[in-house]
Amino acid sequence: MQFSRLDPNRQAGQRLMIGFNGTTLDDELKYAIDTLNVGGLILFSRNIQSPDQIQELCAAAQAYTVRCGNPPLFVAIDQEGGVVARLKPPFTQFAGNPSMKYTTDARHFAHVTARELERVGVNMNMAPVLDVAPTLGPSIMAQRVFGSDPLWVAQMGTTVIEHLQAAGIMAVGKHFPGIGRTVMDSHEELPDLDIDAQTLSQSDLIPFRAAIESGVCGIMLSHIRYGRLDARWPASLSVTIVQDLLRATLGYDGLVLTDDLDMGAIAKHYALPDIIRQCLYAAVDIILICHAGPKIAAAYEQIVHHMHKSEALALKNDACLARIQKAKAKFLDKKIP
């Protein structure tokens, strides 16, 4: 489907990826698809009962999306293995990134995970974690990272990316430009990280550069404020970090996603109109809101409002939609009837 054929309101919805409460295509989910025209869904434990149920849910949502005249949905999940794995038995369980000692471990994880996701209709994995934990000192990411050597993290991360995507599952590297040095949980509060651009470049950015070279489909932004790069806005809302660092300096032209905007780092400190405005000015492609509620519809209305109000934002929106369309054409068009 050509996105240019969609009216502006439908285009606005393509910028949203949302969480929801049910395990079936219920009225809540239908409203998100037929009225808000959302471009993506993300699954959590609350949406999961069994492999057959997930497959039926994903197939029903995709079929309804097509009937509504919208492009196919991104259907995402956090399936890193270890402490962050939404799919429980009978899906294969992995010990997690810190336990992986060889690239063959990463390759096996990617092969098995891709096969199991594809079977139930999930097409995007919010993995791999590309953060680097410091050798000395605590890290909020200690149980989720591949390690403290940026080159090793890069090697393991790119192995996961290449094998997930070769099997048709979009990979999303996270959390740009790196949160391994933080100790505060951004689910609860807004961490500040006092680090200069050169130190980032020589360490934390190394896995992201490698991921970009490997053609990673998406990169998720962190909810960390890097004061020496942008004293006001966290990475997920920062024009400087998205446009200057990720796009211009690193040359990335794939999908850029926020982390969940319901997290305390964002929700406790910024009003929704400011959040959406900043995402649009930064040309963040996909705005992620993981909990059902009025915030999703309000975010949609804010996107529509800004698209009609600002020619500059309308042009940025065109670029975002082009990236979304490119990813959907590559990974989804042949899978959705």
pLDDT tens profile 288-298: 999 999 999 99
The predicted pLDDT at position 135 comes to 86
What DSSP designation does 98 have?
Answer: G
Low-confidence ranges of the chain (pLDDT < 50): none
| Percent of the chain topping pLDDT 70 | 97
What DSSP designation does 294 have?
Answer: H
The predicted pLDDT at position 314 comes to 85
Of the candidates 180, 200, 193, the one whose C-alpha atom is nearest the C-alpha of residue 139 is 180
The predicted pLDDT at position 307 comes to 83
The predicted pLDDT at position 334 comes to 66
φ/ψ of 232, rounded to 5, equals -105, -45
Amino acid at position 277, single letter: R
Contact assessment for residue 281 and residue 315, using Cβ atoms and an 8 Å cutoff: no
Helix spans in the chain (H): 8-13, 27-34, 51-67, 103-120, 150-166, 197-202, 205-213, 239, 264-267, 272-281, 294-309, 311-331
| Dist CA 219 CA 183 (whole Å) | 22
The predicted pLDDT at position 336 comes to 56
Angle between helices 27-34 and 51-67 (to 10 degrees): 40
Whose tokens are 């810190």? That residue is 98
In this structure, which topology does domain 10-331 adopt according to CATH?
A: TIM Barrel (3.20.20)
HSE (CB half, 13 Å, CA atoms) of 315?
3
pTM: 0.96
Of the candidates 140, 123, 130, the one whose C-alpha atom is nearest the C-alpha of residue 330 is 123
| Dist CA 224 CA 178 (whole Å) | 9
| Percent of the chain topping pLDDT 90 | 89
DSSP bridge partners of 176:
221
Which residues carry out catalysis?
187, 259
The predicted pLDDT at position 335 comes to 63
Contact assessment for residue 176 and residue 221, using Cβ atoms and an 8 Å cutoff: yes
| Dist CA 229 CA 266 (whole Å) | 18
The predicted pLDDT at position 1 comes to 57
The predicted pLDDT at position 4 comes to 63
DSSP bridge partners of 256:
219
